[in-house]
Each structure stands twice: as C-alpha cells, then as structure tokens.
Structure 1
C-alpha cells in the first residue's frame, strides 16, 4: 500500500509501529534494554545511536507524517534545534534568523553561536525582502518559524525557498505550532523541519521530546552530530510518544476548531484590544496562511485591555490552566513575558510586540462554550473587584 495515499489518521495510527510477534498485541511492545548484542546481528543497537526498536519505529512514523525521507527523535525540542543548527553551521558561517522566534531558539543564538565562531542576524520582519536584506556572502542557512511563537506571524514558505535556492542557502523551519497535521514544509521545498514534540505530538502535557526530519543525506549528517551531543530519548518516553501520535490528527483538528471559534469571540470582547490568529480574515497574512496550511492551528494570542491585571486574570480562571507549555488536550494560558520569552531583553521583546498584557492561549479539546464562559467570568470578577476597590 502506498503510504502517500493514506489518510492522516491512518498514518498516525498504523505507520511506524513495532510488531508484537510474540503475543500479537494491538500496541507496540516496549523494549527497555540499553544493551543489545553486537555479534551475529544486522544492526548494532544502542540508545544513543537512535536505533533501538522503539526509536527506529517512531522515527519512521515521524518521517511519514512530515513527508520526509528520514527523521530522528530527541530528548527535547531544544535538543533537536541545537543539534540541527550545529550540524549545518561551522566557524565562519552566517545564519539569518526570523525576527519573530521562540525565546529558547533566540537565547541559543545569542548565547552560544558566537562561541563557535558562527555569526547571525535577526530580520527586521518576516517578509522575504527582510531575509534578502540580511544575506551575506557567508550565509549558509535561513531559519524560520511559521506560525511564530507567540504572535502567530506567517512566513511565506514558497518565497523563502525561492530566495534560498537562488542564493544556494539551506532552509530550516520550526513547525511546532502548525504540527504536521496543519502544515508540511517539505512539500514547499524546505530542507529541514524541526518540532518540539513536547507540544502537539505528545499532546497530553506529559512528554518532553524533539524531532528533526529531512532527506536521508541530511539526516546522516545530523546523526554524526547527534551521537556526540547525546540528546537521545528514553525508551518509555518514545513508547508514550508513539501512543500519543495515534490521536494527534483528531486532537489537532478539535484544537484548531476551538481556536478559530475562540478567536472570533475574543475579537468581539471589549476587554480585549488585540487578537492574533491566522484564521481570522482580519489577520494580515490570512490568505497566505490559507495557501500553505491545512487549518490554522490551536494557538492564539490576545492582548487584554491595559487596565486589567494579567496576573489577576490568570488567578480568576477556573478551568483554563495558567501553565508554561502548550498544546495539551487541556486549555492553557501563559504570559510570554514570564515564560517562553523571559530570556529575551525587554527591548527585544518590545521589537516583537510582546508586552505584559499579552496572553498566549493554547486551546484544548473542551467544549468551546465552557471555555468562553471561563474567560467571561474571570474578567467579570476582575471588573467587580475594580468597582469595589
């Protein structure tokens, strides 16, 4: 059967499992061993070599989901990001980073790259002209994130690939917010796809993992770096992640539906002054998002009216959880200033439009009416407290 013709939920469930040849169980058996035979075997298996039975099977599922030739699973999203960057960059090289970027990636760039003689530039914006303006004679890589964390900016995949091919530059994308359910950058010509699998792939707020997906030739290079850095994942977590991936298509579809409905509600809320969600027709890149995404994802951000204390708002929520991470089946909110972008300077956050009133909202799979009611009661409580203050 041609896997290219399988539906996304079929791929999530049936690709890349370990067959239980002994007991014929419906789920993959878990192989916990850290030591395998080296004589009279086809493969010399070792956890740090990313080739134990569960690691190998899961990597096949991930590659299929991202339309890649091969993939590897890591101990965290940052392990995947740092390994990928250090694989394809060396002393004397230059990398162009998108301005709107996950805070952890930003921090890695500013704290680590210069130590290795690698130069970097952040773009002024996220249009292709902004990237073109930063390319130098030694530029080897363009790094993008779309939709971006936390402001959901949209970068034109086709335009970036066109620019990179013209200049002979590699492209790399953090595809975490979209997930492979909503966006497949390799179909547009992107070279390397990265994920924090902690998010939509895990989906239950109980797994920390990362993914790199690309061509066989590129992944051979990644492997040589990865075995030195040692960012492999425990077997039990690999097994849990395979279990979680089986429902990713269903979860992400429900989360995307909830996010669109929530964004449409927040736009009408007088206590909200700004909503960032590419599914809104008012989003400046709505049409671009439609052209390269299957749906608009489960993440949005909104800015509360500036007379509302964000910390108090978080405390008044009864169902939605203030929490640092995202993409679980439960809805969560966070303050990017205090969490994902806390390591950035205040000036750099201001350049991106990240302020203390900004709320990052990860929609779960609850009933949307219950989520709206929780938002409304929290704001009503704050307004009541202000009246009686």
Structure 2
C-alpha cells in the first residue's frame, strides 16, 4: 500500500497500523515493553530511541500525512520544536524567527538561546524584505509559524522556503494551527514541519505529544539529539494518538466549516470590535492563505467591544469552555495574555499586537447554531448586569 496513492481519510485510518497477526484485531495492538531482546534481532529496541513498534508505526502515518520521508513523535510540542531547532545549531550560530510566534516558542528562544551562545533575530514584519533584512552570515535556521498563534497571521511559506534554500539555511515551520489537513509545507519547500500533536492530531484534549516531519537525513539528526534529551512519548499515548488521528480529516473539516461560519457571524455582530480569521476576505492574509491552505482552520480570535465585561462574559458561557489549550472536538476559549502568551512581557505582547482583550476561540464540532446561541446568551447576561 503506497501512501502517495491514498486520500486523506484513508491515510488517517490505515497507514501506520500495527498488524495484529495473532488475533486479527481491527486496531493496532499496544506494545508497552521498555525492555526488548538484543540477541538475534534486526533492531535493538528501546523507547528512548524512538523505535518501538507503536512509535515506528505512528511515525509512518505522520510522514504520510505531511508528505515527508520520515517523522518522529515526541512527548510534547515544545519537545519537538526545541529538539528540532537545537539539532541544527551550535555556539555562534544565528536564527531568524518571524515576528509573531506562540508564546512558548518565543519564551524558549529569549530565555534559553543565550546559554548556548546562539544569536537570534525576530523579523519586523512578514514580508520577504523583513526576512532578508534579518539574515546574517552566520544564520543557520529560519523558523516560522502560519497561521500564527493567536492573531492568525499568514506567512508566505513558499517565499520563506526559497529564501532559506538560496542562503543554505534550514527552514522550520510550526504547522499546528493548520494541521496536515489544511496545509502541507513540505510541498512548498520547507525542510522541517513541527506540530503540537496535543492539538488537532490528538483532537480530544486528552493527549500531550509533539511531532516532526522531514526528510530522513534531517530526522536522523533530530533523533540523535532527541535520544540524548529523552523526549520520547509513552507507547500508551502513542497508541491513543494513532487512534485519534483516524478521525483527523473528519474533525478538522467540520471545525473548518464551523469556524468560517462563526467568523462571518462575529464580523457582523455589534458586540465584537475585531475578528481575526484568514477565511474572511477582510483578513490581510486571506489571498495568501487561499493559495497555500486547503481550508482556513478551526481557530479564530476576536475582541469584544470595550464596554463589555470580558470576565463576566467568560463565566457566562455554557457550551464554550474557558480553557488553556485548543483544537479539541469541544469549543474552547482563552485569554491570550493570561495563557498562551503570559510569559511574554507587556512590551513583547504589544509588539505582536496582542491586546489584553484578545480572546482566542478554538471552534469544535458542535452545531454552529448552538455555539452562536451560547455566545448570544453570554452577551445578554453581561448586558443585563450592566444595566
């Protein structure tokens, strides 16, 4: 079965299965062993070496989804990102990072790079000239995130990949918000694709994991460092993640539809002052997103009108859960300055355009009419209290 000839939902369901040759079960069996025979075997297996049966099976599925040669699965999204970045850097190297990034990635760079003697620059914008201006003679890696967390900025993937290639620089993208359903950066020339698998790949708010997809040469280099850092994932969680990915295509497409409907609704609602969603024609990155994304994603952000008590609004919601993470089948909402970007200084958040009133909404698979009704009843409660 050649994954290149299979469609999305078939890849999600079948690629990377572990065959149950003993009992012929319909799902992959779990191999939880942490100790394997070393005599008379083709491969000496150990969980920290990323080579248990379940780990290897899952990485085949991930590689197929991202059209990559190989993949690795980690214990968290940040483990995947940090290991991948550090695998290609050493003392004296320089990294270019786009201006708008997930708070955890930003915090990792500004707080940890100095101890390794690694230099870094954040771009002033997201245009080609901004990336070109940030590149130095010792630049070894460019890191981007599109759509970005939490303002859904869109970065030109093909442009960044070409620029990196022309300067002999490794390109890395955080593809978490898009998921492999909506965006496949390797097709545009990106070297390494990272995911917080906690989000859409897991999809049920009960798995903590990370993933990296790339050509075999890069994956081997990342694995070499990963073995030393010990960021492997438990085979129990590996099995759960393989199970969850079976419905990835169905879930994400439903979330795409809901998010687009809600974004249009919020853009016309008098209680909302701003909406950030690349599926809206008013979004500055809409045209670019339309060329590199198959769907606009299930994430959107919004700001309520200044007169609306935001805390009362959050506590008044019934279906939509105020929650720190995202991309589950249930809709969740968070305040970026208190959660994903809490580790950034006020000035750093201001530079990225993240206001104190910014709400990040992860749209689930519920009926959109129920989600709209929940928003409206919460707004009504806030207004009733203010009268």
Coarse TM-score class (shorter-chain normalised): over 0.9
Given that residues 182 and 293 in structure 1 are in contact (C-alpha distance below 8 angstroms), is that contact kept between their aligned partners in structure 2?
yes
Q: Secondary structure of 2:55's match?
A: helix
- What corresponds to 2:94 in structure 1? 94
- How many residues are paired up? 387
- 1:286-322 deviations in Å (ceiling 9; x for gaps): 1110100000000000011111222211100011000
- What corresponds to 1:47 in structure 2? 47
Please give the TM-score of this superposition, normalised by the length of structure 1. Answer: 0.99
- What corresponds to 2:158 in structure 1? 158
Given that residues 332 and 363 in structure 1 are in contact (C-alpha distance below 8 angstroms), is that contact kept between their aligned partners in structure 2?
yes
Map 1:1-389 onto structure 2 (within 5 A): 1-387=1-387
Q: For residue 114 of structure 1, report the CA deviation from its aligned partner.
A: 0.8
- 1:225-266 deviations in Å (ceiling 9; x for gaps): 000000001111000000000000000000000000000000
Separation in structure 2 between the aligned mates of residue 125 and residue 77 of structure 1, nearest angstrom: 25
Given that residues 273 and 304 in structure 1 are in contact (C-alpha distance below 8 angstroms), is that contact kept between their aligned partners in structure 2?
yes
Separation in structure 2 between the aligned mates of residue 218 and residue 368 of structure 1, nearest angstrom: 42
Separation in structure 1 between the aligned mates of residue 82 and residue 121 of structure 2, nearest angstrom: 17
Q: Secondary structure of 1:106's match?
A: helix
**Long gaps (5+) in structure 1:** none
Separation in structure 2 between the aligned mates of residue 368 and residue 255 of structure 1, nearest angstrom: 10
Separation in structure 2 between the aligned mates of residue 223 and residue 32 of structure 1, nearest angstrom: 20
Q: Secondary structure of 1:366's match?
A: coil
Separation in structure 2 between the aligned mates of residue 117 and residue 108 of structure 1, nearest angstrom: 14
- 1:325-365 deviations in Å (ceiling 9; x for gaps): 00000000000000000000001101111111110000000
- 1:171-216 deviations in Å (ceiling 9; x for gaps): 0000000000000000000000000000000000000000011010
Separation in structure 1 between the aligned mates of residue 23 and residue 243 of structure 2, nearest angstrom: 18
Please give the TM-score of this superposition, normalised by the length of structure 2. Answer: 0.99
Moved segments of 4+, more than 2 Å: none
Q: For residue 2 of structure 1, report the CA deviation from its aligned partner.
A: 3.1
Separation in structure 2 between the aligned mates of residue 216 and residue 106 of structure 1, nearest angstrom: 27
Separation in structure 2 between the aligned mates of residue 310 and residue 145 of structure 1, nearest angstrom: 28
Separation in structure 2 between the aligned mates of residue 128 and residue 178 of structure 1, nearest angstrom: 21
Q: For residue 125 of structure 1, report the CA deviation from its aligned partner.
A: 1.2
Q: Secondary structure of 1:233's match?
A: coil
Q: Secondary structure of 1:254's match?
A: helix
Separation in structure 1 between the aligned mates of residue 377 and residue 248 of structure 2, nearest angstrom: 31
Q: Secondary structure of 1:4's match?
A: helix
Given that residues 310 and 356 in structure 1 are in contact (C-alpha distance below 8 angstroms), is that contact kept between their aligned partners in structure 2?
no
**Long gaps (5+) in structure 2:** none
- 1:157-179 deviations in Å (ceiling 9; x for gaps): 11111211221111000000000
Cα RMSD over matched residues? 0.6
Separation in structure 2 between the aligned mates of residue 127 and residue 251 of structure 1, nearest angstrom: 32
